[in-house]
Every structure is written in structure tokens, then in C-alpha cells.
């Protein structure tokens, strides 16, 4: 259920008195960024909030009489009734939780009263998944419970959740509860003519629940009329710029839109006409959108009548980027001659990086991290083979003795390592597995060793990135009124620019309570 399907507090509440509920409203209704992040900088977004009891006129849960009756005891011979049964307060609370659509375990910030209480439940969207925190009160007042942000932070810290305040809210960030990426809008089923894109969006049978249904027509009209101001939802300005920009960029370029600027002609002369003599942007009427919204370096391709593909990396107004290590490996395989023109010694200068890429580009990722550990000398061949057998046998995943026998040199140190130390709640999670705990520590140690020479690694990555058949398009979307907006500018960047240091990243692919193994990626760290 989406956030806007729940009733929000309509009475005006002063900024200083809103507490955690105010933060939820700022994010969901005004597109502001989360006031929190984890100590490590990870995601920690207050995405929803409920006050209990759900009935606005009821201040607290109290035992209430039901329509049923209860007997003296279950062994009574005649089953005679002795008065009305009562519905316990906890049963009432659980019923309201079910009505609100809240499932799973509640994380309690204080002790639950026995006889009478009210509660506030805060939903957090974090890197590890969806969390629900609850704090109990004696009663709510005017259908409101104020849980101060500082009290929230203080209350959950003893539970193993160390978070920090995020400085400087950004009004232009993408709305966290919706995603307008190509794979969510039904346009990732292969090469198509640019004239078909809007129709694909309108007719998609797999339109996701996280996209408000009214946005289907808004986005389709926006794609069909890139040069014009069209109806738009103010709260989604950042989503249009960051996410719809991925769809609109190649279309605007192919149509010769008036909003296209930057190195358009340079890219046409130095890239298009080199890879296919005589090719122009206007001749490229076919487009393709990769299905993976987070792992591909390329967000879209323009395709010539002869099949030549030019990759486009979408950038919002701030120039953000995303990619996977597989993208690097694919470019090395496709563009060796171009790479050599940029660095004639490339294939002899970086032998170890190239060997890692051979592992990373393998389709089967099941054993990838163990193979990389072997390349780095962390695991020997025997240990790799032993761990592979464990991975294939779910009965071993929590068997400390078998895991230690497979990797006797590392098991104890890795299970008690500061490199990765799962929180108590992770260790108690039903999905926790000792093998994944060990593997996550291993993955992080692998990444540390792979990133041992930052300057050299940067040269490697940037040589490859700058060798691909690709351009960047930086999109800017502006609201022209409270109800309309348009892409005001799309700037072509060629050669592509990659800011910040680049490093291998085990990141969000590895957790002790997530079915692993994951795969190695890479990331841009801003200077």
C-alpha cells in the first residue's frame, strides 16, 4: 500500500512540534530528503507513520466487551456462559496493525504497558529492507503522538541502530516512494522505434504499484511532447529529472529537440561518423532501454538502421552516475583497439585487474567472490572448492563446524572481524546464515585489497570508461507552474566525464541475512 492511501493529519502543525511524523510528511508530500542516514552513510528513510488506535476518536486501547460470551472454564459440564468476553488490548492493537497493512516484527523502543496504551509506528526504508519501530504512550491527543527526532534517534540506538542526522534537505531529490525507471514503465522489452515509447508506457500490462496510476498518462504525454510544458506532479520533479530523463534523453537527441545542447555536433563527428560513416543523430530512430535500473553503466541505446549502438548514460542536473563492474568488462571485450589508442600499454600494465574482470564477467555469479579471493591469494584452491560445496548445500549454511573445516585459516577471524560486524538484530534474524556472515566479511576484505592502489585503479577504470561508444546527457526538469513542467535543458557531454575516484565495491550485494553470494560492483566516490 502506498503512503498516500493512508489518511494524513490535516490540522496545521507547527514545524517545531511535528516530530517524526513531520519528517514523513516532508519526504512523502514535499520531496525532501531523509533527516537520517546510518553512521556509514546508508539509507534510513522514514517512509510512513501511523497512530494507534486507528480510530481517531479513541485515545488508547482498553479492554472492551465483545459480542461473544465466555464460559467459566473449558471443562464446565454444561458449558454455561458467565458474562461477556473481553477483547484484550494486544488483540485490538494487532487487529489495527493488520488493517494498516503492517506485517512482520515490530521493533520496540520502549516497554509495552499491560493494561492501557496508545502507540506510534514508524516505517523505515533502509538498505537492509523495511523496518517498523514502535513506541508506546499512555494515550494520543487529538489523534496525534509526537515522537521527537532526537528522542527517536536516542530510543533506537540501544537496539543496535546507530543513525545520524542528514544535513541540508534537498527539495529536488527524487521522491523516495516512486520509481519511474524504464523497467518500471514497460519499455525494456528490446529495440523499438522512438515513436512507440509513449504507447508502450500507456499500454504496459506490468505497470508497477509504486507508480501512481495517474502518472501513466502524464509521463506518456511528457515523452510525446518533450519540447512543450505539460501537466506534471510537483512532488515528482526530481523523479522526472533523474528517472524520466533516462527515457527522454535519447528521444530528444534523435528528434533534434530544441532543448538539446552541449557537445552534440562534436559527438556526431568524433563518435557517430567514426563508428559508422555518414551516421547522424537524426538518422537514429530506434532506442533500447536495459532492464536493470541500478547495475548498468548505460541507461539507454540509440540504434542506427544498420544496428550500430551508441550508449547513453543519463545524468541529472547534478551529474550523478551509476554502474556495474560487468559494464567495464564488456567494454574491454568490445573496444580493445580504442583502449590501446588511449593507453598502448593498457593490456600489459594492468594484468591483475584484467584477470579479475575475467571472473566478474562470468554469467554465473554464485562463486564469484570466492574466485576473486583466490586471485588475490586470500583463499587457496582447496578452500575455494570446499566453500563451493557449502554454497551448494543449504544444510551447511549455519553449520559452524563444517564452515570452519572448509576455511580453517580464516573462519574465526572473519566471524569476529571489525571489517564487518553484524548488529544484534541481524544475528537474531531468521534469515541469518553463518556462511553468508563469513562471505560478507570475505567480500569486504576482497574489495579492500582490490582497491589497494587508488591512483592506478582510477587510471584503469577511466581509460575503459572513456573508450566506450557512449555519451552522457545531463537533464534538467523545471516546473513551469504548480501543475505543469518540462525538460528545460538536455546537455550532451562528450567525451564522457567521470568525476571522483572509482573503486571496487562489495556494497549492497553482501549481507549476513541475505541469500548470497552477490557480485562485485564499482562506485564513484566524490572528491
What does the pLDDT look like over 345-379, one tens digit per residue?
999 999 999 999 999 888 888 899 999 999 999 99
pLDDT at position 200 is 93
What's the pLDDT at 447? Answer: 92
Average pLDDT of the chain, as a whole number: 84
- Cβ-contact 491, 481 below 8 angstroms: no
Closest C-alpha among 135, 229, 239 to residue 177 = 239
pLDDT band at 292 (very low <50, low <70, confident <90, very high): low
Find out whether 448 and 369 touch, Cβ atoms under 8 Å.
no
State pTM to two decimals.
0.53
Contact between residue 462 and residue 230 where contact means Cβ atoms under 8 Å apart: no
Q: Residue 6, Cα to own-chain centre: how many angstroms?
A: 23
* Least confident among 1-5, 29-33, 283-287: 1-5
* Confidence band for 14, pLDDT divided at 50, 70 and 90: very low
Q: Phi-psi region for residue 500, left (φ > 0), alpha (ψ -120 to 50) or beta?
A: left
CA distance 180 to 240: 8
CA–CA gap between residue 156 and residue 159 (Å, rounded):
5
Q: pLDDT band at residue 18, thresholds of 50, 70 and 90? A: low
Query: Given pLDDT bands bounded at 50, 70 and 90, which one contains residue 407?
Result: very high
Which pLDDT belongs to residue 248? 96
d(CA 115, CA 408): 53
The residue with greater pLDDT, 257 or 35, is 257
Q: 166: closest CA among 340, 22, 34?
A: 34
Task: Check residue 429 and give its pLDDT.
Answer: 85
Segment 143-169, tens digit of pLDDT: 899 898 888 998 999 998 989 887 443
Lowest mean pLDDT among 183-187, 210-214, 268-272, 416-420: 210-214
- Considering the chain, what percentage of its residues have pLDDT values greater than 70? 85
Q: Is 111 exposed, middle or buried (0-12, 13-18, 19+ CB in 10 A)?
A: exposed
Amino acid at each position: 500500500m502506498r503512503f498516500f492511501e493512508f489518511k494524513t493529519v490535516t490540522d496545521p502543525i507547527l514545524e517545531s512540534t511535528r516530530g517524526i511524523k513531520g519528517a514523513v510528511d516532508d519526504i512523502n508530500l514535499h520531496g525532501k530528503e531523509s533527516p537520517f542516514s546510518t553512521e556509514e552513510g546508508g539509507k534510513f528513510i522514514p517512509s510512513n507513520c501511523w497512530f494507534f488506535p486507528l480510530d481517531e476518536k479513541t485515545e488508547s486501547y482498553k479492554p472492551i466487551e465483545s459480542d461473544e460470551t465466555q464460559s467459566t472454564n473449558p471443562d464446565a459440564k454444561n458449558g454455561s456462559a458467565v458474562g461477556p468476553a473481553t477483547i484484550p488490548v494486544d488483540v485490538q492493537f494487532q487487529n489495527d496493525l493488520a488493517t494498516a497493512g503492517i506485517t512482520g516484527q515490530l521493533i520496540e523502543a520502549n516497554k509495552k504497558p499491560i493494561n492501557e496504551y496508545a502507540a506510534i509506528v514508524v516505517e523505515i526504508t533502509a538498505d537492509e529492507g523495511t523496518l517498523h519501530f514502535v513506541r508506546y504512550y499512555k494515550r494520543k491527543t487529538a489523534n496525534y503522538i509526537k515522537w521527537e527526532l532526537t528522542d527517536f534517534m536516542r530510543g533506537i540506538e540501544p537496539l543496535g541502530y546507530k543513525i545520524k542526522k542528514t544535513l541540508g534537505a534537498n527539495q529536488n531529490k527524487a521522491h523516495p516512494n516512486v520509481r519511474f525507471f524504464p523497467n518500471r514503465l514497460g519499455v525494456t522489452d528490446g529495440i523499438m522505434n522512438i515513436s512507440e515509447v509513449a504507447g508502450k508506457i500507456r499500454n504496459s500490462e506490468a505497470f508497477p504499484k509504486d507508480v501512481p496510476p495517474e502518472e501513466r498518462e502524464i509521463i506518456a504525454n511528457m515523452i510525446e511532447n518533450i519540447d512543450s510544458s505539460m501537466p506534471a506532479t510537483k512532488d515528482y520533479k526530481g523523479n522526472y529529472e533523474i528517472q524520466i530523463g533516462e527515457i527522454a534523453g535519447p528521444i530528444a537527441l534523435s528528434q533534434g529537440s530544441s532543448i538539446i545542447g552541449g557537445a552534440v555536433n562534436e559527438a556526431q563527428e568524433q563518435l557517430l561518423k567514426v563508428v559508422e560513416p555518414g551516421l547522424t543523430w537524426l538518422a537514429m530512430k530506434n532506442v533500447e532501454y536495459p532492464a536493470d535500473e541500478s547495475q548498468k553503466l548505460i541507461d539507454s541505446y540509440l540504434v542506427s538502421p544498420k544496428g550500430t549502438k551508441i550508449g547513453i548514460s543519463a545524468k541529472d542536473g547534478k551529474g550523478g552516475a551509476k554502474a556495474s563492474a560487468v559494464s567495464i568488462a564488456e567494454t574491454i571485450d568490445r573496444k580493445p583497439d580504442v583502449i590501446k589508442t588511449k593507453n598502448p600499454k593498457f593490456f600489459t600494465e594492468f594484468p591483475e585487474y584484467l584477470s579479475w574482470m575475467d571472473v566478474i564477467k562470468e554469467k554465473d555469479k554464485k562463486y564469484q567472490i570466492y574466485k576473486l579471493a583466490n586471485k588475490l591469494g586470500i583463499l587457496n584452491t582447496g578452500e575455494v572448492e570446499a566453500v563451493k560445496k557449502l554454497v551448494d548445500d543449504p544444510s551447511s549454511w549455519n553449520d559452524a563446524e563444517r564452515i570452519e573445516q572448509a576455511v580453517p585459516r580464516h573462519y574465526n577471524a572473519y566471524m569476529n572481524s571489525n571489517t564487518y560486524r553484524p548488529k544484534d538484530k541481524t544475528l537474531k534474524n531468521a534469515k541469518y546464515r553463518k556462511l553468508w556472515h563469513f562471505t560478507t566479511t570475505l567480500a569486504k576484505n576482497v574489495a579492500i585489497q582490490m582497491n589497494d592502489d587508488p591512483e592506478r585503479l582510477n587510471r584503469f577504470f577511466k581509460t575503459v570508461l572513456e573508450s566506450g561508444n557512449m555519451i552522457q546527457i545531463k537533464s534538467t526538469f523545471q516546473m513551469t507552474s504548480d501543475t505543469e513542467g518540462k525538460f528545460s535543458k538536455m546537455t550532451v557531454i562528450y567525451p564522457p566525464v567521470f568525476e571522483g575516484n572509482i573503486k571496487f565495491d562489495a556494497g549492497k550485494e553482501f549481507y549476513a541475512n541475505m541469500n548470497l553470494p552477490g557480485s562485485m560492483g564499482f562506485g564513484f566516490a566524490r572528491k
